[in-house]
Amino acid sequence: MWTLRRGAASVPRTLRTLRSSSTLTTKDINQAVLTAEYAVRGELVLRAATIKKEGFKEQPYEKLLECNIGNPQAVGQKPISFGRQVLSLMCCPALLELPGTSELFAPDAIARAREYLAAIPNGIGAYSESQGFAIVRDQVAAFIEKRDGYPANPQDIFLTDGASKGVGFLLSLVLRGRSDGVLVPIPQYPLYSASLALQEAHMLGYELDEAGGWALPVSLLEAELSKAKANGIETRALVVINPGNPTGNTLSRENMQQIVQFCEEHEMVLMADEVYQENVYEEALPFYSFKKILCEMGSKVQCVSFHSTSKGFLGECGLRGGYFELMNFDPDVQAQLLKLVSIGLCSNTLGQIACGLMVAPPQQGEASYPAYAAEKEGIISSMKRRATMLVDGLNALEGVTCNAPQGAMYAFPSITLPPKAIAAAEAAGKVPDTFYALALLESTGIVVVPGSGFGQKEGTWHFRTTFLPPEDEMSSVVARMTDFHQGFMAKYA
């Protein structure tokens, strides 16, 4: 019998050897994990974290300007007051019984919290239904019907931990093996490339038309589909991000109709990533949901649309709230999707409530409406001004061209790099746009994401930047970028 004592010496040699030989290495893990990449939190962000940890010792700045990710509250955006009041009361229902609550919280926030608690008798600390709280799904359905003018069924709505989780569920449902593929826009949000790598499926990239304002030429979809067939790949779905990430474009109604016709003709699932639907800045190109386009066309295309509390003007990224709606799905398939979702029991309950607050905000006549409307308008109008300031500054730089964002919260400028800069990048073992972005970080503290992390037309170089830093800091961002770029171009001229 063994005597257990502290220290490795008391453990028998055979057991220590067994433990040592069973230690995982990168050769032993799922190789699909090694293949998957997520540029938004890749090399640039790791270097930025190191600079911050070292206390900016050797840098000519004392603060990072994190323009790499759509994370509004991380760069100073304030939460919407009404939502946080309701969430506070949901987290601590005892506040509702205290005498001073009516002085601290708006009456409609108190009424909303009571409404939610009455519909959720077990509170937010218990699991919900796998699809999410019924009261919130009812609110989402009402929101969709008001937005599109067509009815929505709460049974077709699933609440999720952000839109990303919903995308993962749908890909797990649709993809059957290594011979399947999904059409994804180039440039694309790396959630899709990483998820497809983990599924060991094919990412079939179709290039958006940069010169045409990042439009989606359906002829390119046809070409990619033919190429996939020739390679023995069965295309299962088409991903469309509208408004675009990282491109900031908004699709026209005519372009959307062409996309629906393509999916109809080729009998594939349309995955509509619509998380930026509140971020639209070009009046001539308003947001239309694919649900609305399908209904207007009388189409039977199987479509799933995603929305999130992280984007829009809310910026509630950390709460991880979101939903997806299914359209024209077979009930038996939908039942299997419910089973898949049920494996994780339910999405987080605070995120579900946040989703309800997103789709059912204060209405005119309610106590919180004036403050809510002012906060919303302040955020969206400021984003539009910041976008204009940034893009004007980028387009003034030598060798840089940038389409004005029509939606979302990103700019995706194209950079013509000098041959000497490309040679220097190759000598350093870096992709040229990564080399540029790293130099920008070291010189200015501005964190962007190289275009190569999203995919781009061969022979072109880009980077993605948000326009989320506070408005009073955007002039500094543009000035820093301008000084750096001029120096960089002169160095490698």
Report percent pLDDT > 90 for the chain: 43
State how far the Cα of 16 lies from the Cα of 9, in Å rounded to an integer: 9
Residue 18 has pLDDT above 70, yes or no: no
Residue 344's pLDDT is 86
Distance CA 145, CA 191 (A): 29
Query: What pLDDT score does 357 carry?
Result: 96
| Calpha distance 448→37 (Å, rounded) | 16
pLDDT of 11 strictly over 70:
no
In sequence order, the β-bridge partners of residue 327 are: 303
pLDDT of residue 308: 93
Cis bond before residue 151 (omega within 30° of 0): no
- pLDDT greater at residue 64 or residue 428: 428
Tokens coding 318: 């950390």
Length of the chain: 493
Which two three-digit tokens encode residue 149?
């003018």
Specify the pLDDT at position 21: 53
Rg of the chain taking only CA atoms, in angstroms? 25
**pLDDT tens track for 168-209:** 889 988 888 889 999 999 888 888 888 888 888 888 988 888
For the stretch 375-396, pLDDT in tens is: 999 998 998 898 899 999 999 9
Question: How many CB atoms lie under 10 A from the CB of residue 429?
Answer: 8
pLDDT score at 362: 94
Percent of residues, the chain, with pLDDT higher than 70: 93
Whole-number pLDDT of residue 238: 95
What is the spatial distance between Cα 324 and Cα 314, in angstroms, rounded to a whole number?
18
- The pLDDT, as a whole number, for residue 3 is 43
Q: What is the mean pLDDT of residues 426-446?
A: 89
Determine the Cα–Cα distance for residues 318 and 153; give it in Å rounded to an integer: 28
Which range has the worst mean pLDDT, 74-78, 462-466, 481-485? Answer: 74-78
Q: Would you say residue 14 has pLDDT above 70?
A: no
Q: Give the residue carrying structure tokens 């207007």.
A: 296
Question: What are the chain's domains?
Answer: 34-76+373-491 (3.90.1150.10), 130-359 (3.40.640.10)
Is 327 within 8 Å of 293 (Cβ atoms)? no
Lowest mean pLDDT among 47-61, 239-253, 293-307: 47-61
What value does the mean pLDDT of the chain take? 87
pLDDT higher than 50, residue 6: no
Q: What is the pLDDT of residues 67-110, one digit of tens each?
A: 887 888 877 889 999 999 999 999 988 888 888 888 888 999 99
Query: Of 409, 382, 404, 381, which is closest to residue 391 (Cα–Cα)?
Result: 404
- The rounded distance, in Å, linking the Cα atoms of 280 and 282 is 6
Q: Report the distance separating Cα 338 and Cα 344, nearest Å.
A: 10
pLDDT for the residue 5:
44
So what's the pLDDT on residue 7? 45
Residues 6+ apart with CB under 8 A from 219: none
Helix (H, G, I), strand (E, B) or coil at 160: strand
pLDDT band at 488 (very low <50, low <70, confident <90, very high): very high
**How high is the pLDDT of residue 41?**
60
Predicted pLDDT at 288:
93
In this prediction, residue 477 carries a pLDDT of 86
Cα distances from 258 to residues 73, 238, 246, 293, in angstroms, run 37, 13, 22, 10
pLDDT of residue 425 exceeding 80? yes
**Would you say 443 and 484 are in contact if contact means Cβ atoms under 8 Å apart?**
yes
Over the stretch 305-322, which tens digit does the pLDDT of each residue have?
999 998 888 888 888 999
Positive or negative: CA dihedral 180, 183, 187, 191: negative
In this prediction, residue 38 has a pLDDT band, given cuts at 50, 70 and 90, of low
